[in-house]
């Protein structure tokens, strides 16, 4: 692997190649470039190479000031601090390095931004997100399945191994996603995971500035985003600031003695894993030892926990996230294991991103069924302890949990639809519930169709609910064809290969070849609802009113000045007739509605009969 960051520009590489001293000493510069006209004027460069801490740096460029350098306990790192004027012109910043008796110029690329970059629109409630695991989705380039220098080769027969899915496969699938009605895609992490085993999932990064070559290149990633945008599909990048992989290049020569939490484990101390007690972050009675173990403990011994309290590392991580947004032209970030990182760092991380991109969106993962825990992290929440977040969205795990309970439990005064009704009534604890991401499952949960006991009626209710409820819907790849998995967590089987993504697959979900009746029905349901949703302003910008469950049914409305959508779900094994007078504060009587799933016209007069185990999505305009 090239020791210089793959994103480094050709002009800088030419100078390094002609400078024997720097070719030997400067092995990495991160970030490898920056942009003129960013809102935050400070930029910090991390240089890595033999005894670079002994070098002095200087710079003479209009609008750029080198304000100093910072060193650590490791003599091989030099951090260069720059201040850039708001009107600085793009160009190569001629950073002068004086190392011993040799002086060399290092041209640092300062690029022009895309027009309108700062005003980019993030994903929002008008979008539906398609979550996919790249290694398991589609293999468009078999030549990069196994790559020299990458420790784990492809082995499609291994549930825990790499299967060969890549960026080229994702590009090939873009027309399918657009046709299905998806307007945003979230691939699990694409950055290099050069781990010796179990590297396909992407959550153990070994290089935060480069795409894993088994997926493709940085340039191919940028090309994917551009092609997706042309088809009306936004791209969300999965970013992890909490941890890295234990074979990250830092681990062979850590930048400082406290770069990691519980760093002593590397030299023989006992392993300290996180206790996963996320409530400690806001628990007024939590002990310090429990709070520290939650944030500072490692997930597993192959995922070192990053110390975001280290100011140099904090700046590095913040700049890395901004760099990917600007470089790849992203429309959003999904932040993994959100609350496990230092909370003060998360405030600054979110602030800096939203400073550069005011209309951007970030969704954090806080895996808790408790809305009080999740709401703490959303921007605009007035927390009792004064904590301020700048992260606009969170994954709505409480609603996911309630939806599963509602669909799989018997109706009673305290079970069934009431679980969903009461969970939604907790929206008052959120600063912006309409910006939460709602979902039916993800890469860490069992498949929704299996959890619903392969019951197509319940599946139809789940998909209809996601397509019409407040928030931003997200579907896991394969949900649209009712893919299955064990009910207990089994990551390899949950993240199984998407049929048709590999040459020779007998079933091809992209074309419909070989799909059975259930799969075709599921695919058509998703396609119908998602494409209709694009025309339904009441769904993505309207109000919400729901009515307490009655006789095995649950009814709610989405509405604005021009459209009303009535959704009714009936879990009973017999038809249920509803008295429409109950809903007259929101339902315009005497109108004819279009039932979205079937396309039928239904007159809304005095009563409405809901079929046994049926779902009605009624569009009234």
**E-assigned strands of 230-324?**
234-239
**Do 19 and 53 sit in the same domain of this protein?**
yes
Whether residue 333 contacts residue 239, with contact meaning beta carbons closer than 8 Å, is answered with yes
Q: Among 7-11, 126-130, 476-480, 568-572, which stretch is predicted with the lowest mean pLDDT?
A: 7-11
C-alpha of 609 from chain center: 41
31 preceded by cis ω (within 30°)? yes
CATH number at residue 587: 2.60.40.1180
Strand 543-550 relative to strand 553-559, pairing: antiparallel
CA 125 to CA 129: how far, in whole Å? 10
Task: Compute φ and ψ for 61, nearest 5 degrees.
Answer: -155, 130
Q: Reply yes or no on whether the pLDDT at 21 is more than 90.
A: no
Residue 156 belongs to what H/E stretch? none
Residue at 215 is within a domain:
yes
**Do 106 and 133 sit in the same domain of this protein?**
no
Residue at 514 is within a domain:
yes
Q: Among 94-103, 136-145, 521-530, which stretch is predicted with the lowest mean pLDDT?
A: 94-103
Whether residue 535 contacts residue 596, with contact meaning beta carbons closer than 8 Å, is answered with no
Residue 490 belongs to what H/E stretch? none
At 429, the pLDDT band (50, 70, 90 cuts) reads very high
pLDDT tens-digit profile of 247-266? 999 999 999 999 999 999 99
Q: What is the pLDDT of residue 22?
A: 55
Residue at 122 is within a domain:
no
Q: What is the pLDDT of residue 17?
A: 40
Q: Reply yes or no on whether the pLDDT at 12 is more than 50.
A: no
93 forms beta bridges with: 108
Average pLDDT over residues 22-46: 92
Question: Can you give the three-state secondary structure of 89-126, one letter per residue?
Answer: CCEEEEEEEEECCEEEEEEEEEECCCCCHHHCCCCCCC
At 588, the pLDDT band (50, 70, 90 cuts) reads confident
At 25, the pLDDT band (50, 70, 90 cuts) reads confident
Residue that terminates a domain, selected from 479, 509, 537: 537
**E-assigned strands of 124-233?**
129-132, 184-187, 191-192, 207-211
Tell me how long the chain is: 621
CATH number at residue 323: 3.20.20.80
Average pLDDT over residues 269-273: 98
Q: Reply yes or no on whether the pLDDT at 8 is more than 70.
A: no
Cite the active site residues.
Answer: 336, 365
Q: What is the pLDDT of residue 328?
A: 98
At 24, the pLDDT band (50, 70, 90 cuts) reads low
**Do 282 and 322 sit in the same domain of this protein?**
yes
Task: Compute φ and ψ for 450, nearest 5 degrees.
Answer: -70, -40
CATH number at residue 104: 2.60.40.10
**E-assigned strands of 426-581?**
437-439, 472-476, 543-550, 553-559, 564-570, 576-579
Return the ∠ at Cα 217 (arms to 131 and 301), rounded to 5°: 65
**Do 512 and 423 sit in the same domain of this protein?**
yes
Task: Report the chain's mean pLDDT, rounded to a whole number.
Answer: 95
Q: Which of the 8 DSSP states describes residue 499?
A: T
CA 65 to CA 5: how far, in whole Å? 24
Q: Which domain holds residue 168?
A: 127-537
CA 120 to CA 568: how far, in whole Å? 37
**Do 40 and 189 sit in the same domain of this protein?**
no
pLDDT tens-digit profile of 77-128? 999 999 999 999 999 999 999 998 889 999 999 999 999 999 999 999 999 9
Candidate ranges 21-35, 94-108, 179-193; pick with highest mean pLDDT: 179-193
**Do 337 and 353 sit in the same domain of this protein?**
yes
Residue at 610 is within a domain:
yes
Q: Reply yes or no on whether the pLDDT at 18 is more than 70.
A: no
Residue that terminates a domain, selected from 522, 537, 552: 537
- As for how many domains the chain has, the answer is 3
Q: What is the pLDDT of residue 589?
A: 82
Q: Which of the 8 DSSP states describes residue 498?
A: P
Residue at 394 is within a domain:
yes
**Do 473 and 526 sit in the same domain of this protein?**
yes
Whether residue 615 contacts residue 569, with contact meaning beta carbons closer than 8 Å, is answered with yes
Q: What is the pLDDT of residue 101?
A: 83
Q: What is the pLDDT of residue 179?
A: 98
**Do 79 and 169 sit in the same domain of this protein?**
no
Whether residue 29 contacts residue 8, with contact meaning beta carbons closer than 8 Å, is answered with yes
**Do 44 and 160 sit in the same domain of this protein?**
no
Quick one: which of 397, 402, 358, 356 has its CA closest to 375? 397
Residue at 3 is within a domain:
no
Residue at 4 is within a domain:
no
pLDDT tens-digit profile of 301-328? 999 999 999 999 999 999 999 999 999 9
Residue 373 belongs to what H/E stretch? helix 371-375
Quick one: which of 316, 237, 227, 308 has its CA closest to 5? 316
Going from the C-alpha of 462 to that of each of 386, 419, 434, 474, 479, the distances in angstroms are 37, 14, 18, 12, 11
Residue that terminates a domain, selected from 90, 115, 140: 115
**Do 60 and 172 sit in the same domain of this protein?**
no
Q: What is the pLDDT of residue 9?
A: 41
Residue at 5 is within a domain:
no
Q: Reply yes or no on whether the pLDDT at 453 is more than 60.
A: yes
**Do 61 and 152 sit in the same domain of this protein?**
no
At 5, the pLDDT band (50, 70, 90 cuts) reads very low
**Do 307 and 424 sit in the same domain of this protein?**
yes
């Amino acid at each position: 692997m090239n020791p210089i960051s793959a994103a480094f520009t050709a002009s800088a590489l030419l100078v390094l190649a002609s400078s024997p001293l720097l070719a030997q000493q400067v092995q990495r510069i991160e970030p490898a470039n920056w942009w003129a006209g960013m809102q935050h004027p400070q930029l910090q460069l991390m240089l890595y190479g033999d005894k670079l801490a002994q070098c002095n740096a200087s710079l003479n460029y209009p609008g750029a000031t080198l304000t100093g350098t910072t060193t650590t306990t490791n003599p091989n790192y030099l951090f260069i601090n720059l201040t850039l004027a708001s009107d600085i012109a793009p160009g190569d910043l001629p950073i002068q390095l004086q190392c011993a008796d040799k002086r060399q110029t290092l041209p640092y690329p300062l690029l022009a931004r895309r027009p309108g970059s700062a005003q980019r629109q993030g994903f929002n409630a008008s979008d539906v997100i398609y979550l996919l695991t790249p290694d398991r989705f589609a293999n468009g380039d078999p030549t990069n399945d196994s790559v020299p220098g990458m420790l784990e080769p492809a082995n499609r027969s291994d549930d825990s191994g790499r299967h060969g899915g890549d960026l080229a496969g994702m590009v090939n699938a873009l027309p399918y996603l657009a046709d299905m009605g998806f307007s945003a895609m979230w691939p699990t992490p694409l950055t290099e995971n050069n781990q010796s085993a179990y590297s396909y999932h992407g959550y153990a990064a070994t290089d935060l500035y480069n795409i894993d070559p088994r997926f493709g290149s940085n340039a191919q990633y940028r090309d994917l985003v551009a092609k997706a945008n042309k088809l009306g599909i936004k791209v969300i990048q999965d970013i992890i600031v909490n941890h890295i992989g234990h074979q990250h290049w830092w681990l062979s020569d850590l930048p400082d003695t406290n770069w990691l939490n519980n760093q002593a484990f590397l030299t023989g101390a006992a392993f300290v894993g996180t206790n996963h007690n996320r409530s400690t972050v806001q628990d007024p009675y939590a002990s310090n030892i429990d709070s520290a173990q939650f944030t500072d403990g490692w997930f597993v011994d192959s995922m070192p926990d990053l110390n975001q309290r280290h100011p140099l590392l904090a700046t590095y991580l913040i700049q890395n996230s901004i760099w990917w947004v600007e470089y790849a032209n992203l429309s959003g970030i999904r932040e993994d294991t959100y609350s496990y990182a230092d909370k003060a760092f998360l405030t600054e991380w979110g602030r800096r991103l939203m400073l550069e991109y005011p209309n951007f969106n970030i969704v954090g993962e806080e895996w808790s069924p408790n809305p009080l825990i999740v709401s703490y992290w959303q921007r605009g929440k007035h927390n009792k302890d004064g904590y301020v977040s700048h992260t606009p969205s969170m994954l709505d795990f409480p609603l996911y949990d309630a939806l599963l309970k509602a669909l799989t439990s018997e109706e009673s005064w305290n079970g069934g639809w009431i679980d969903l009704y009461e969970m939604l009534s907790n929206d008052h604890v959120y600063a912006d519930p309409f910006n939460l991401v709602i979902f039916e499952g993800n890469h860490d949960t069992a498949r929704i169709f299996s959890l619903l006991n392969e019951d197509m009626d319940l599946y139809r209710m789940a998909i209809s609910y996601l397509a019409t409820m407040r928030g931003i819907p997200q579907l896991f790849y394969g949900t649209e064809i009712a893919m299955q998995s064990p009910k207990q967590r089994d990551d390899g089987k949950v993240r199984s290969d998407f049929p048709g993504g590999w040459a020779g697959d007998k079933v091809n979900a992209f074309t419909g070849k070989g799909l059975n009746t259930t799969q075709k029905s599921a695919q058509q349901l998703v396609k119908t609802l998602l494409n209709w949703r694009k025309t339904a302003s009441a769904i993505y910008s309207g109000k919400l009113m729901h009515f307490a469950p009655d006789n095995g049914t649950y009814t709610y409305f989405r509405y604005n000045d021009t459209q009303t959508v009535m959704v009714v779900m009936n879990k009973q094994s017999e038809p249920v007739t509803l008295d429409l007078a109950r809903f007259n504060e929101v339902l315009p009587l005497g109108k004819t509605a279009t039932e979205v799933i079937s396309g039928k016209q239904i007159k809304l007069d005095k009563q409405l009969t809901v079929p046994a185990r049926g779902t009605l999505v009624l569009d009234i305009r």
